[in-house]
Structure 1
């Protein structure tokens, strides 16, 4: 079955929040940050939310925003049993295509410094642009031909 990104709606917020919390809580603890459920819910309202699906199976979700320069990946999370199968790579390449279709020159994200996903992002053309105590800012230049 082919992978798809399908627009999420408010009924998917609980799934996305729980998945994000499970994936990110170890990093929040590592960097002594506070997870705030309400902050996730508020961001849900103004971001683009997409479900990552394979047929009828829900594999994860991603959350996006954009400005005049970039499509910004705010969240990208897969259920543990779907990690390591190339799904994340497919999502990153699909979002790069979307950025190009939107005539945006950059695809951006932030990742916790200790998150091994940094290597995945580097393999997909993301370059580290700076970091602070917790996060690394990364971007990929999009060729709009």
Structure 2
């Protein structure tokens, strides 16, 4: 499969919101957390968002934020039909390349404890560095000398 990243626009908000709700609602229900479209929309507006596309068709997206300590994956979602085909690994590789280019010390993300995506994150070198009732905080040190 050949994937590309393209900057997301406000026109992509509906796709991203629906995909995230579809993928995450079972976790929100399990942990008794409210899903709020408005909260998603506010978060989307404050992040750097990239669509994962195949032949110009959106198959997922990744949402990023930064601070001096790390590049953060805030959301990473693929449409169900495209899971298990290397797109998640590919997207994380792209984000790691961004972190290296920006000389960020680490790549970080948070994942629900019962989300099977954590196996992907572990394969990609992220390790659990903390947890709370619902989430695991994961991190990978970024070697800026690798390009």
TM-score range, shorter chain: over 0.9
Which residue pairs with 1:132 in the alignment? 132
Which residue pairs with 1:67 in the alignment? 67
Which residue pairs with 1:85 in the alignment? 85
What is the CA-CA distance between 1:56 and the residue it aligns to?
Answer: 1.8
Q: How many residues align?
A: 145
Distance 1:125 1:135 in 2: 18
What is the CA-CA distance between 1:2 and the residue it aligns to?
Answer: 2.8
Distance 2:58 2:108 in 1: 24
Which residue pairs with 1:46 in the alignment? 46
1:12 corresponds to 2:12: yes
Q: What SS is found at the alignment partner of 1:88?
A: helix
Which runs of at least 4 in structure 1 moved beyond 4 Å after TM superposition?
none
Which residue pairs with 2:98 in the alignment? 98
With the length of structure 2 as denominator, give the TM-score of the two structures. Answer: 0.96
Gaps of 5+ in 1: none
What is the CA-CA distance between 1:64 and the residue it aligns to?
Answer: 0.4
